[in-house]
Amino acid sequence: MRQPRPAHALQDVLVAALAEVPADVPPLEAVSVTLQSATGVFEERGETVRRRQAVIAAHPELRERELIKLASIAAALAAELRRRGVAEPYASLAAETGVAVFKTAFERWVDDPDPPDFAQVVRDTFDALRAVTSGR
């Protein structure tokens, strides 16, 4: 496996994880499983991630840069879904939705002084999305 590029380390990890999800898993579920795999990336750096996020939150230009990174991740995940045979608009919808869930889950995880593991927060946030879309 090639080494992640420093500026794109999370993106590279997520795309590689998505490539490993079995092809018969539906697109949004594949993205969910992929995002849950980021647990190690955040939990091993816990306090550093929280300090980094506080700096980003305090500076509009850094928040903008973070949104650009998230858009890049969504585009990369959509490209991987298309490579797996997922047609448009499904690939883009699954990737963009997944990144929205990821952003919300990450913010919840960072703000929780005693968070559960990141994968659990991602699962809970996907459950909240399902509740919203089903009208519950």
| Distance separating alpha carbons of residues 67 and 82, to the nearest angstrom | 22
Task: For residue 99, give the nearest of 10, 2, 20 by alpha carbon.
Answer: 10
Q: Is the pLDDT of residue 116 over 50?
A: yes
The reported pLDDT for the residue numbered 4 is 44
Q: Is the pLDDT of residue 135 over 50?
A: yes
Higher-pLDDT residue of 114 and 93 is: 93
Query: Does the bond joining 4 to the residue before it have cis omega, within 30 degrees of 0?
Result: no
> What is Dmax (Cα atoms) for the chain?
43
Higher-pLDDT residue of 49 and 21 is: 21
Higher-pLDDT residue of 47 and 93 is: 93
Give the pTM: 0.87
Tell me which H or E stretch contains 100. helix 90-111
pLDDT band at 47 (very low <50, low <70, confident <90, very high): confident
The reported pLDDT for the residue numbered 48 is 82
| Distance separating alpha carbons of residues 64 and 46, to the nearest angstrom | 23
| Distance separating alpha carbons of residues 122 and 103, to the nearest angstrom | 9
The reported pLDDT for the residue numbered 49 is 80
> What mean pLDDT do residues 94-102 have?
97
Percent of the chain with pLDDT over 70: 94
Q: Contact at 8 Å (CB) between 111 and 103?
A: no
Higher-pLDDT residue of 84 and 136 is: 84
